[in-house]
Structure 1
Amino acid sequence: MTGDVRVTAGVAKVLAAFLHDPASDRYGLDLMNATGMPSGTLYPILARLRQAGWVRAEWEILDPEAARPPRRYYRLTAHGVAAARQGVAQLYQQLGPAVRPSTKPRPA
């Protein structure tokens, strides 16, 4: 199912983490570290993005000898990349220039 997602500040943080490298797979702890969000905030956002068709998720196939549980990997779909770029850009436009990430180096 493909749909629209309202791009809030929280959703934009998750999308920005994905857009940092759209072709890479990300897992929950990785995304929590990248966004600073707790699991109770992150996973509902990921569920909405999956339901809208912006993100796909697959369980890792793990060696039975591995000493950890399998990870669930998330990746933006082609539709998700385009929608994420547009949604984040629209949010920045609505919020104004004060919240846009700076590309200028910080003074030392």
Structure 2
Amino acid sequence: MPRSPNTSPHTRSVLEALLQSHPDPAYGYDLSKTTGLRSGTLYPILQRLHAQGYLEARWEESLHPGKPPRHVYTLTEQGTRLARELRETARTPPQLVRGALS
């Protein structure tokens, strides 16, 4: 079972971007453009989510000769569940998240 992830706003934005592209894989560059995160912030998040079992990462050969292969990222089943839970939590009013119905 994966460890609990860091659910910082940056991590949430990465998970949301991956959920929007799911089941298609996403490239780091595209995630950077979608989330507005720089590589120094984005790639550690991707590495951490991968290490925790929320992402699959694989190399994909370039379609253009001479260009290097790129990493592509896809949510795992656990990652998809987590991203959906975080999406719902973000939509739920704070008083309902705490369990107080006032």
Same fold (TM over 0.5): yes
Residue 45 of structure 2 aligns with an amino acid whose one-letter code is I
CA-based RMSD of the aligned residues comes to 2.2
Aligned length: 95
| Equivalent residues of 1:26, 1:74 under 8 A apart | yes
TM-score (norm 1): 0.77
| Equivalent residues of 2:49, 2:55 under 8 A apart | yes
Q: Which runs of 5+ in 1 are unaligned?
A: 97-108
Residue 21 of structure 1 deviates from its aligned partner by 2.3
TM-score (norm 2): 0.81
Q: Which runs of 5+ in 2 are unaligned?
A: 96-102
Residue 25 of structure 1 deviates from its aligned partner by 0.6
Matched ranges for 1:23-102 at <5 A: 23-62=23-62, 66-93=65-92
Fraction of identical pairs, as percent: 36
- What secondary structure sits across from 1:58 in the alignment? strand
Offset from partner CA, 1:3-62 (integer Å, 9 cap, x none): 210211000110110111210111111110110110000001001110110001000134
